[in-house]
Amino acid sequence: MTNFKIIALLLMCCLLINCDNKKNDSPSNENNNTSSSSKENSTVDDLVINPVKKKLPIFVDALTTLVDIYKKDNVINYKYEVKNISKYALLLPTTQDTIRDKLLKTYCSDNDEVKQLKHFFPNGANYHYYIDEQEIIIVEIQPDDCDED
């Protein structure tokens, strides 16, 4: 019971400290938007990007390893390193179609994790495939691509 009272007291203190009637010193809303935007980016980084980065590299399959993940322009970007395949094999239209189809199937699925990703990254997802640190292909998927099924 004592722990509950302490926690309740701490929560009340936090609420009272954050209550402030003081007017903002900034004359324009522009600074507030920038601050809000950076807070949002920080939240996305904390909730989505950083937990995955801590687990990198992630071996996807025998050929593919996820080596980086980042946000740019409200798009989530995945960087994959591909091994034991030539860049020419990766550049084949059939290979690219197979990769895109699998990524679309996952991105357009009706699962809670994907819905959350779409919320945090409303402009889609880019998948960058590298061989020997050279970018070979990029698969760009936007929310509208799911409507084309």
Nearest CA among 90, 88, 94 for reference residue 138: 90
- pLDDT at residue 62, rounded to an integer: 94
Kindly report, residue by residue over 128-137, the tens digit of the pLDDT: 999 999 999 9
> How wide is the angle at C-alpha 44 spanned by C-alphas 39 and 45, nearest 5°?
95
Q: Which two tokens stand for residue 65?
A: 């390893």
* Residue written as token pair 């020419």: 88
d(CA 118, CA 146): 12
- Say whether domain 29-143 belongs to CATH 3.40.50.300: no
* Cα–Cα nearest to 68, from 51, 80, 59, 76: 80
Q: Are 73 and 120 in contact (CB under 8 A)?
A: no
Q: For residue 111, what is the DSSP state?
A: -
Quote the tokens at residue 85. 């395949």
- Residue pLDDT, tens place only, 39-92: 556 676 777 889 999 999 999 999 999 999 999 999 999 999 999 999 999 999
Q: Considering the entire predicted model, what is its pTM?
A: 0.71
Residue 76: Cβ-neighbour burial (10 angstroms; 0-12, 13-18, 19+) = buried
State the Cα–Cα distance between residues 31 and 34, nearest whole angstrom.
Answer: 5
Question: Per-residue pLDDT tens for 61-73?
Answer: 999 999 999 999 9
Domain coordinates of the chain in residue numbers? 29-143
